[in-house]
A and B are shown apart, each in its own frame.
Chain A
Amino acid sequence: MDWESEIFRQRLADAVEAYDLTAATDLCNELVGRLRSTQQLYPVNDARIVLRLLRRKRFFGLMTTMAEALLQSGQRSPQIRCEYAQALIDRGFPAVAAELLGGVLLDATDENWRAEARGLLGRAYKQMYVDTAGGHPELLQKAVETYGAAFADDPDRCAWHGINAAALLRRSSREELDISWSVSAGDIASRVRSNIEARSFDPDATTGPWDAALAAEACLVLDDSDAAVGWMQRYAGDGRVDAFELASTLRQMTDIWQLATEVDPGRRILPILRAQMLVKEQGARLELTSADLATDAADAPLEKVLGDAGVVTYSWYRRGLARSRAVAQIRHRSGRAVGTGFLVKADDLDPMWAGLGVVLITNSHVLTSEPRSEETLAPEQARVELQALAIDGVASTEVGVDEIMWSSPPDELDTTVARLADPPHGVDPCPLTAFRPRLDGKQRVYVIGHPAGRELSYSIDDNVLLDYDDRFIHYRAPTEPGSSGSPVFNRDWEVIGLHHAGGSEMRQLHGRSGTYPANEGIWIEAIRSAITTKP
C-alpha cells in the first residue's frame, strides 16, 4: 500500500492517547477509504497494531468499523478476526462473535491463534450465559467444553482456558446445574497452580502478572482463600497490569465468582483490585453498590496481605469510599433519575451560613426554584437519594429538598445550593480544596456520580486535568448524562469542582480557538466566591 503506514499509526496513537475520538474517527475513516480504493492488502501486523491501539482506550465502535473494513478488503487473517470478535464481545454482541470465531477455528492453522480463538469463543459463551441471567445453562456447558478442550489439548499454552473452565464448573456447582466435564475443577486448578508455583521459584522462567491472576483463581477453585488473596495482591501490585486488565479481573470476580464485599474472600479481594484501579494511569469505570460503601475491612490483616505500599493505597481508596457516601442521586418524585449532587458543610461555602449544617450542591440545570425545562426539577419535585442512609439502616434513603439557598443560572455558574428537608446524620460532608492543582498534564481528577442513573460510580478512565480558568476546569474523565452535579475531586479527595457538562467538542478555554473532547466543571472556588459576595 503506497502510503506511510508508520506515520498513520503514530497519528492514530497520538489521537488515541489524547482520548480524541473525533480525530481517531477521522483517521480511521481515512484508512477505511484507502482500504476500499486499493487491491493491495493492508499488512496484518500493522492492522493488528491499529486495532489494539483502539482497544486500549476501548474505542470498540471504531475497532468494529476498522475490522469490518479489513475483512471486506480481503484481510481475513485469524488475528484480525479474533480482534474483531473481541470488539464484538465488548460491545455486547457475543453471539455474532461466536459465529465469527467458529470460522476462525475452521481454517486457522497456527496453534497460538487457535488457542486465542478458543479462549475468545469460551468467553463469548460465558458472556451469553451471564447476559441471559443463567436462563440458558447449555451456554455454560458450551463455555466449559470450549475452555476445557483447549486446556486438555495444550495445558501449558492454555492455562487460562483451564482456569476459566474450572471457575465455570464451580459456578455451576453453586447453582446446582448439571454441567459436566471430563476433568474436575479441582484437578485443573491443582495443575495450573503447581505449574505457576514451580515457575515462580525458577529464576530462569518467565512469569507475567497474569500468572498471579491465574494462581489466584486456581486457589479460589481449591478453596484456599488466603493464598488467593496473596496471589491477587501480587497481581494487582504488578506495575505491568493496567487498569483495563484489573477491570477485566474484577468482572471475573464479581460476575463469575460472584464475590461480594460483605463476605470473605470478596471482602479482601475486591477492595485490592478496586484500589489499584483507581491509582493506575488509565482505567475503567468503577461502580459501587451500597454494600460496597458499607464494607469496613479495617480489621483485616492488611499489612500482611497488602504490604506497606498496598496499605497506603487501600487507605487512600477508603477515603474515596467515604467521600462517595456524601454523593446523592437526584430524582424526580416519579423515580426518574435527573442528576447527582453532594453534601458539603454550609459554612465551607459561606461563613455566614455557620450553624446550618450540611447542604446539597448540584447544578441549576438539575435543580432550581424556577425550572425552565422539564429536565430540571423544582424543589418540591426533587427527591435526593443517599445510599449512605441505607448503610446506616434508615428505612427510606430519600429525603426531600427544603429550600433553595442560592442558585446561579446554567449559563453562569450552573449551581444550586439547597437545604434538605431531613439532613442525614453520620455522613461526612465533602471537604473543599483551597488549592488549584498544577497544570502539568499529570494531575488526575476523580468524578463520583450516578452516570445514566446507575449505581454510584467513579469515572477514572482517562481522568487527566486538561486546563482551567477562573470559572471552569476541563478534564478528560468520561462521564454520561446523570453525572451532572457530581463532585470533581483531586487526589487528596477534596472537591475542586462541580461537574456540569461534557462532550467531544468542548470549546477550549482562554479564548483559544477550536474544540477538544473534554468534560467541564465549575471551580468550587468560583462558586464559593460568588456565594460570599452575593448581595
Chain B
Amino acid sequence: MAHVTFIHGIANKPPADQLLTQWEQDLAYGEAGIDLGTRGITSTMVYWADVMYPEPQSATLESADDDIPVTTETDIDPSWRDELPGEQKSFVETMAESLGVTNSEVEELPGDDTEDMDDTLERIPLPRFIKQRVMAILLRDVHHYLFNAFHAPRPGTAIRVQEEIRDRVVEKLQLGSEQPGPHIVVSHSMGTVIAYDCLKRVPDCPPVDGLMTIGSPLARREIPDEFKPDWTRHDGFPSERLLGPWVNVFDHFDPVVGALPHIKRFYEKDGEPAAVDINEQNWGKWRHSISKYFQGPLLRRSLGVMLGG
C-alpha cells in the first residue's frame, strides 16, 4: 500500500496529530473523497509550525468554509527585516515587492478583522489588509528557511530554521520509504518550497515516487533563483530524488501562487517541461485553504492515480 508524507504550509497550526487528522478528514470529505485509512494508506506529517511559533494553535482556522488564517493576533514582529546582510536584504526587498508587502509594518486595518468584508460577494482579489498579513508571514518563512536563519520561537530556544526542518523532512521521508508501495509527498504553500528544496538539494533525502505541490509559491521568480546553483530552468526538476510525477495544483486567485502559477516553465527536465500544472477552482474569499484544495475534483483524481488508483 502507498504512503503519503504531508508537509504543511505557513501560519501557525494545531498540534501535529490533530493537523494530520484534519488533513486526512478534508481529503476524505464528501462523495468523491480519498479516505486514506480505508484504503490502507499510511501517512505522516512533517510538522514545523513549532519551529516558527511558541505553541500550537488551539483550534484550527483553516477548516471552515471561508476561513482566513490571519488576524491581528497572528501578526508577526517585522523587526527581523531590520538588520539583514546585503544579499538577504536584496532578496527580501524583491520578494516583498512581489508579494505586495511594501512596508515593514503591516498596514492598519479598516476594522479589526474580516468583519467588514461583504459576505455575499466574493472578494477577488483578496482585501489588501488580509493579503498583507498572509504575505508578511510567507515572506518571513521563506526567508528564514532559504537563508537558514536563526529563529527563537520560545524563550531560550534558537533554531536554525532550514537545518531543523530539513532534518525533520529527511526523517519522515526515510520512514515513508520503508513502507511498501508508492511514497507520495503532498505539500502545501511554504511546504512546497521545503519539499522541493529537500528533493533537489539534500543528499541524504531518500527518493520518493511522486510529488504534489499545492498552492505553491515556487513559480515566483525570486524563489528558484535562491536554489542556484543546484537549480537551473532547464534542470529544475528534482529527477535524482523524484522518481515519478510532479503535479502542481493552483487556483489563480490564491494569493500565494502569484500571477503566473505554472511551475513547469521553471522546473524542466533536460530542457523539457515535465511537471503537470492543474488549475483547481476553489471558492470563496480565501483560495489558499488546504481544506478547499483537498476537496477539488482535479486534485483528487490526480492524487488517486498517484496513490495507485
| A495 CB, nearest partner CB in chain B, Å | 12
Is A436 part of the contact surface with B, judged by Cβ < 8 Å?
A: yes
B29-37, B145-153, B161-169, B227-235: which one contacts chain A? B29-37
Contact for B38 among A312, A315, A492, CB less than 8 A: A492
Is A442 part of the contact surface with B, judged by Cβ < 8 Å?
A: yes
Is B42 part of the contact surface with A, judged by Cβ < 8 Å?
A: yes
Name the B residues within 8 Å of A490 (CB-CB).
35, 38
Please determine whether B65 and A308 come into contact, CB atoms closer than 8 angstroms.
yes
Given contacts A308-B65, A491-B35, A492-B35, contact A438 B41 (CB under 8 A): yes
Of A308, A316, A437, A438, the most chain B CB neighbours within 10 A belong to: A438
Please determine whether B65 and A491 come into contact, CB atoms closer than 8 angstroms.
no
Count of chain A residues near B, Cβ 8 A: 17
User: How many angstroms between the C-alpha atoms of A433 and B28 in the bound complex?
Assistant: 16
Please determine whether A442 and B37 come into contact, CB atoms closer than 8 angstroms.
yes
Contact for B31 among A315, A434, A494, CB less than 8 A: A315
Given contacts A436-B1, A438-B42, contact A443 B37 (CB under 8 A): yes
Q: How many A-B residue pairs have CB under 8 A?
A: 41
Please determine whether A436 and B40 come into contact, CB atoms closer than 8 angstroms.
yes
* Contact residues, A428-485 vs B (CB, 8 A): 433-438, 440, 442-443
User: What's the dominant secondary structure at chain B's contact region?
Assistant: loop
* Contact residues, B4-32 vs A (CB, 8 A): 28-31
Name the A residues within 8 Å of B29 (CB-CB).
312
Please determine whether A438 and B31 come into contact, CB atoms closer than 8 angstroms.
no
User: How many angstroms between the C-alpha atoms of A491 and B37 in the bound complex?
Assistant: 9
Please determine whether B65 and A438 come into contact, CB atoms closer than 8 angstroms.
no
Please determine whether A435 and B1 come into contact, CB atoms closer than 8 angstroms.
yes
Residue of chain A at shortest CB distance from B21: A442
User: How many angstroms between the C-alpha atoms of A14 and B231 in the bound complex?
Assistant: 54
| B113 CB, nearest partner CB in chain A, Å | 18
Given contacts A315-B31, A491-B35, A492-B35, contact A435 B40 (CB under 8 A): yes
Please determine whether B38 and A437 come into contact, CB atoms closer than 8 angstroms.
yes
Residue of chain B at shortest CB distance from A440: B37
Residue of chain B at shortest CB distance from A434: B309
Given contacts A312-B29, A315-B31, A492-B35, contact A437 B40 (CB under 8 A): yes
User: How many angstroms between the C-alpha atoms of A308 and B37 in the bound complex?
Assistant: 23
User: How many angstroms between the C-alpha atoms of A438 and B35 in the bound complex?
Assistant: 10
Residue of chain B at shortest CB distance from A439: B40
Residue of chain B at shortest CB distance from A312: B30
* Contact residues, A299-323 vs B (CB, 8 A): 308, 312, 315-316
Contact for A435 among B28, B31, B39, B65, CB less than 8 A: B39
User: How many angstroms between the C-alpha atoms of A224 and B30 in the bound complex?
Assistant: 31
| B27 CB, nearest partner CB in chain A, Å | 13
| A497 CB, nearest partner CB in chain B, Å | 13
User: How many angstroms between the C-alpha atoms of A420 and B42 in the bound complex?
Assistant: 40
Residue of chain B at shortest CB distance from A493: B38
User: How many angstroms between the C-alpha atoms of A315 and B30 in the bound complex?
Assistant: 8
Name the B residues within 8 Å of A308 (CB-CB).
65
Give me the 10 closest cross-chain CB pairs, A-B, nearest first: A435-B39, A436-B40, A438-B37, A490-B38, A435-B40, A491-B38, A443-B37, A438-B40, A492-B38, A312-B30
Interface residues of B (CB under 8 A from A): 1, 28-31, 35-42, 65, 309
- Known contacts A435-B38, A437-B37, A438-B40; 12 additional CB pairs below 8 A are A312-B29, A315-B31, A435-B1, A437-B39, A437-B40, A438-B37, A438-B41, A440-B37, A442-B37, A443-B38, A492-B35, A494-B38
